[in-house]
Amino acid sequence: MLKIEPDRLLNDLKRLRSFGATGTGVVRLSLSPADMDARRWLAQRMSEAGLSASIDGVGTVFGRSRNDGPALLIGSHTDTQPTGGWLDGALGVIYGLEIARALAECGETRHLAVDVASWIDEEGAFSGFLGSRSFVGESVDAAIRSARNREGVLLGDALEQAGLAAAPRVRLDKTRHKAYMEPHIEQGGRLEAHGKSIGVVTTIVGIRELRLRFTGQRNHAGTTPMSIRRDAGAALVAFIARMNEAFSQLADADTVWTVGRIELDPGSFSVVPGSADMCLQFRDAGAERLRAMEAALAALIRDFNAQEKVSVAMLDGEPPEEPVTMDAALQAHLASAADALAPGQWERMPSGASHDAQVIAHHVPACMLFVPSIGGVSHDFIEDTAEAHIVLGCEVAANAAARILEAMRK
C-alpha cells in the first residue's frame, strides 16, 4: 500500500492558502499578484519534489517527472473565485504533488511517472479553462488578444505584466500522457448527506445557458387596470412557475435548473415593466434529458405566445456543453482503491460542476475523485473539508495512481 505524508500534504495546502488569504477564504484571481506568487511557490515545491517545473506562456504551472513514460497526469487549478474557498482546485494540485513525492519515496514505485499541473484560469477571470484548452491544442490566441477581466485588463497585457508572454506553452504529449486524474472537493452536499467519504465521478454534467426576454408594454402603475396590463415582469414569474412544473416531470435526483438573474425594464416602483429578461441555466448528466428539457422549454414558449398578452423570445445564449463520461477503466481503479481504503464509504456519482477534466477527457482517458464539502458549500469563504477526508482522499488517489501506472506498463 502506497503511503503519503499527511502532515506534508496538509502543510502545503495551508501554505497555498496563505497566498491571497482573506478571512477563512482566499481571493486569488488568475494572474493577479497573489496568484503569481502562488504559482512561483508551487513551481519551487515541484522542483524540490524532483519534478522539472515551469510556468508556461498562459500561466499553467507544470511539473514533469524525470522518469520516462507512460505518465499519469494529475492536476486541477489554483486560481479562485472572487469569494473563493481554500480547497476548490487547490486540493487536486497538491494531491498531485504529494502523490509524485510518495511514488518517488517508495522503492516499488519510484520508476513510475506522474506529471502535475495547475491549470490557469479554470474559474474564467479572463477565459474559462484557458490552461487546459491551451494544453490540448485548442487555439487560445483570440482570447489572449481580446479577453478582459472584470477590471477591464486584457489577458495579453496581464500575461506580459506577469513576464509570461514569451514563455513556451506546455502541450499534451500523447506518447507520454496516457491518462488524466483530477481529484477535487465535491462542491455539493451529496457525499455528506449519504455519510460517504469518497466519490468516484461517472460523468461531468452537460450545461445549457439561455436568456429569455418577455416583451409587454410600459405603463403607469397607478392608472393602468390589471385587466388591460401587459406586465412583462408578472409574465416572467408566471412562466417560471410553468417551467418548474415541466422540468420537474423530466428530472431525476441530479437534474438542476436555475434562474440566476432577472432584469426588469425600467425597474421602477411606479412603472409596469415593459420588458423583462431572465438568465436560465440547466444541467444534467444525460444528453437525452437535456434535449428533452430544451424541447419542453421551446413548447412552453410557443404555448405562452399563443395564450398571453406578453410575448417571450429566446435570445442567444452560451454554446451548449455536452456531458462528458469519465473513463470506465480509470473509474474501476479508483473504485478498487476506495474499496481497499474506505470500504463502504464511497459511491459513484456525477459531477454537477464543470472541471478541466471535461476538456482533457476529449483527448486522453480521464477520471475524477471527490471528497466531501462541509455543508455542501463551495465558491465561498466558508468552504471547507475535514482533514481526515482530505488525507483519506489523497491516500485513495495515490493508490489508484499506482494501480493505473502499473496497468499502463503491462
Task: Please report, for the chain, the start and end positions of each structural domain, with discontinuous segments joined by +.
Answer: 6-205+323-408, 206-315
Helix H or strand E encompassing 258 = strand 256-265
Cβ contacts of 80 within 8 Å, gap of 6 or more? 20, 25, 26, 27, 28, 29, 88, 89, 123
Q: Which residues are known binding-site members for Zn(2+)?
A: 77, 88, 123, 184, 379
DSSP 3-state of 342: coil
Does domain 206-315 fall under CATH 3.30.70.360? My reply is yes
The DSSP 8-state label assigned to residue 315 in this structure reads E
pLDDT digits (tens, 9 = 90+) for 176-199: 999 999 999 999 999 999 999 999
Contact 172, 363 (CB under 8 A): yes
Alpha-carbon distance of 405 to 181, in angstroms, equals 12
Average pLDDT, integer, range 292-305:
98
| Helix (H/G/I), strand (E/B), else coil: 79 | coil
Q: What is the Cα–Cα distance from 131 to 257, expressed in whole angstroms?
A: 28
CB-based contact 222:278 (threshold 8 Å): no
Residue 18 has pLDDT above 90, yes or no: yes
Region 334-339: what's the mean pLDDT? 98
Pick from 308, 242, 240: which is nearest to 280 by CA?
A: 240
Q: What is the pLDDT of residue 42?
A: 98
Mean pLDDT of all residues in 67-89 = 97
pLDDT at 306: 96
β-strands 206-215, 311-315 pairing:
antiparallel
- For the chain, percent of residues with pLDDT exceeding 90: 98
CA-based nearest residue to 143, from 153, 154, 158, 132 = 154
Q: Is the pLDDT score of 1 beyond 90?
A: no
Gap between the Cα atoms of 168 and 175, Å rounded: 20
* Mean pLDDT of the chain, nearest integer: 97
What gap in Å lies between CA 58 and CA 102, rounded to an integer?
A: 29
Q: pLDDT-based confidence at 171, cuts 50/70/90?
A: very high
Give residue 302's pLDDT.
Answer: 97
Cell of 183: 481529484
Report, as an integer, the average pLDDT of 302-326: 94
Question: Annotated binding site: which residue ranges?
Answer: 77, 88, 123, 184, 379
pLDDT at 318 over 90: no
Partner residues linked to 199 by β-bridges: 347, 370
Q: Work out the pLDDT band at 279, boundaries 50, 70, 90.
A: very high
Q: Is 268 left (phi over 0), alpha (psi -120 to 50) or beta?
A: beta
Q: Which long-range contacts (CB under 8 A, 24 or more apart) does 292-295 make?
A: 292/250, 293/208, 293/247, 293/250, 293/255, 293/257, 294/208
Average pLDDT for 50-63? 98
pLDDT band at 305 (very low <50, low <70, confident <90, very high): very high
Give the model's pLDDT for residue 317: 83
CB atoms within 10 A of CB 244: 12
Correct CATH for 6-205+323-408 of 3.30.1300.10, 3.40.630.10, 3.30.1360.80, 3.20.20.450: 3.40.630.10
Reported pTM: 0.94
> How confident is residue 158, by pLDDT bands cut at 50, 70 and 90?
very high
- The tens digit of pLDDT for each residue in 385-402 reads 999 999 999 999 999 999
Q: What is the pLDDT of residues 114-128, one digit of tens each?
A: 999 999 999 999 999
Largest CA distance in the chain: 84
| Mean pLDDT within 308-313 | 96
Nearest alpha carbon to residue 114 among 84, 170, 77, 70: 70
| Cα–Cα distance measured from residue 53 to residue 202, given in angstroms and rounded to the nearest whole number | 31
- Average of per-residue pLDDT across 50-70: 97
pLDDT at 63 over 90: yes
Q: How far is CA 131 from CA 9, 182, 251, in A?
A: 24, 14, 33
Give the per-residue pLDDT at 284. 97
Listed in order, strand segments (DSSP E) in 27-176 are: 52-55, 61-64, 71-77, 113-119
Mean pLDDT of 18-23: 98
